[in-house]
Structure 1
Amino acid sequence: MAHAEKVFKVKNGKKTTKYTWRARYKKPDGTWGSEPGFPTRRLAEEWGDAQEAAIREGRWVDPELSRKKFGSFVKEWMAAQKPRGRTTMNRWERLEAHILPKWKDTPLNALNWFDVEAWARELALTVARSTVRDCVQLMSRIVNGAVDARHITANPLAGRRITGLPADVVKKKPVEDQVAEPEVVLQLARRLGPAYGLHVLTTAFTGLRWEELVGLHRDNALLERRQRHDGGIFTCPVLRVDKEAGALAEYYKRDEEGRRRIFRGLEPPKNETSARDIDLPPFLAEALEEHLKAWPFEWVFCTPTGKWWWRSEWFRIIRPAADGRDARPKARGTALKEGWDPIMPGLTMRALRHTHDTWQAEDDVNPVLAHEQSGHKYPGIKGTYQHPTPVMRQYRLDAFQRRYERAMRNLGWESVWGSGPPNIS
């Protein structure tokens, strides 16, 4: 049964006549717990009785655990999570750059929405609002973990929404800078030449994510879809994002001492719907077939030496092609480079994926098929009851083929590659 004990204060190494009361109560494992600092015996006993009542009812939280520092619990929570490697990396970046400098020494039971929201508004003065929201959501998930681990009784951040954030300090791209015209895609592809330009064409006309593009093995290229239709079989060539190893992951891992180590390798796609077969319009299937005839490597979209692309290295390739560059004369140790006018400054592979999905909407591709081809789950009950059909697939392929042929006519071209690839070194 809970009871109280006197605790005499000590001054200069000697016990004084002043004292406070310490509550003593029986913990679930049979040992005695204690909590000091009560001004009266009655308050100490009431607090101890409340602990024992909570233990009997199965809702007790150890006061020592509730005082654990947020930073200490973060390490436990992160160690218990098993998300994809890049997700883990992104979480640590948010924690180390923004969250832990402020909250690492705060006890779990001292967290409250008032302080967190005030901090979030201050953080929004220096980073994007999306980053602020990501940080608060991550904090809330961690505190939920503390509740589940019986460190605290409730999450004060759960269900709360940040309001009154200042204007975003990071300027977003205008919408028109995130969607490319087909003529722009073709011009950029020609400038890069067949080996590199096919990266651009394929992303714009299939919607492949970067990690799916560079992780595509030639064994998964130009496969055939076969689907019953109208008394026969509908067929079309496809690219397959493999469910076992369909994406190239690039991130850093941490060892037990917190040191970073770069990881690059194939992993399953980010979710179940990302593993898919992507239908190819005729022009793109022909271009890929010609590419693979001459390409000696196992990866369809790789460096000229057969290695996986680093994101940073591909950035060095696409930036001057899209943004333009100054001419460089031939000199000792350096090759001649022709000057390039800008085609679409700031264009990225992600913007080309945006372009693909926007084209699908513009061409009235059935939403169920558009979601499937982009690797997204169609929301709601319709995503369960509706399925892509050969009629839908052929309509989409015809629309992309027409888009390509119209752009070629507008440019006055007969071949995407022209007379051959330029010098992009």
Structure 2
Amino acid sequence: MSRSDPQTTARAPSPRDPRIDLFRGLLLVMIFIDHVPGNWYENLTLRNWGFSDAAESFFIMSGMAAGLAYTGGVARWRETGLWLGIAPIWKRAWVLYLTHIFLTMAGIAIFAIGAEAFGLTELLTKINMRQVFQNTGPALIGIVTLGHQIGYVNILPAYTVLLLAAPFALLLGQRAPLALLAASIVLWFITGLLRLNLPAYPNPGGWFFNPFAWQLIFVIGLLTGIALRHGNRFVPKNRTLFAVATGWIVFVLAWIYAPGFGPVMDGIMARLEALGLPFHITSQDKTFLPLLRLLHVLAVAYIISCLPSVARLSAHPYAEPLRVMGRQGLLVFSAGALLSLAGQAVLVYFEGVTIVPWLFIPAGTVVLWALAWLADWKRRAGQPARQSLVQKGGSMSPVAAE
């Protein structure tokens, strides 16, 4: 039997796990809901069930998708050259950067239209917009250099930076996954200890999603994706670990909702911080991915990954709307970001009209699903042509993470 062509092998698509597509789609819907403050549906999103919210889970999903999509290309660098493994990842990072710039400018335009056409001048000082309209020159420099990020459109810069580092993480992660995990934990701890961050501009401070801290959750997802690519689990199933994760979830729920218990735990954390424990161990400062949020999202992810019923439900035909949204992750995120900003303006205009948020969220979710379905239909319609191109020896890019 002849040895397979390395280029053809590198082009083989990554296997898709329906759980990743489904939960990524579900998380995107939750992000859309949470980004339109003041609607009832916020009570149903992940942030009501513990310390973490959809953002942490989305970073895990993104890391898993990157591990599944890019492991093969990087692993074969000796055969095909290192650049062929790196290029698709950095190309994706460039796409994310351009998407972020577009979303930022479109978001500014949405709020400017609300102010100019409908007199909603309060929009010009919301979600970090003040610098844009009152200090335009430096703000524009900050936008292009990622130093100035408006609210609700600030997750892609961190993901872009992490994708730039992903090829090197993949090289180490395939050879020594525990070494990569240890280095990631050390960087996370030092980041919180020394308050490391990329600088904001022209505002003081740093990025809201600090890539030096959030890299840990991305790396955990990346290592999980590498293992899944080879048909394994990064963290094996274990009854004791499952019990501990479940106990932690219950404990966190009691911390949040049990009368009197929350203030006691908050007091304990305050005393521990006064004794000198680093703030990212005792606080819930989202920027530095504090331990309490990190442990919560890891427990949720582990429990979900261990339940056979989740795998069956994820593959059910009725779950296809969420799966298709997950497969078109960047499109749905982008459309959801614009819809959420428009929704904020709409809710300000119709302040006090309770039916508006009740209708806007379902309508927006249907729009997101329709866009994802159209994009997925277009992708499927083009598959035969791409397969024919591969069979004829044509060029084709490796599978990219959504």
TM-score, scaled to structure 2: 0.24
Higher strand residue share = 1
Higher helix residue share = 2
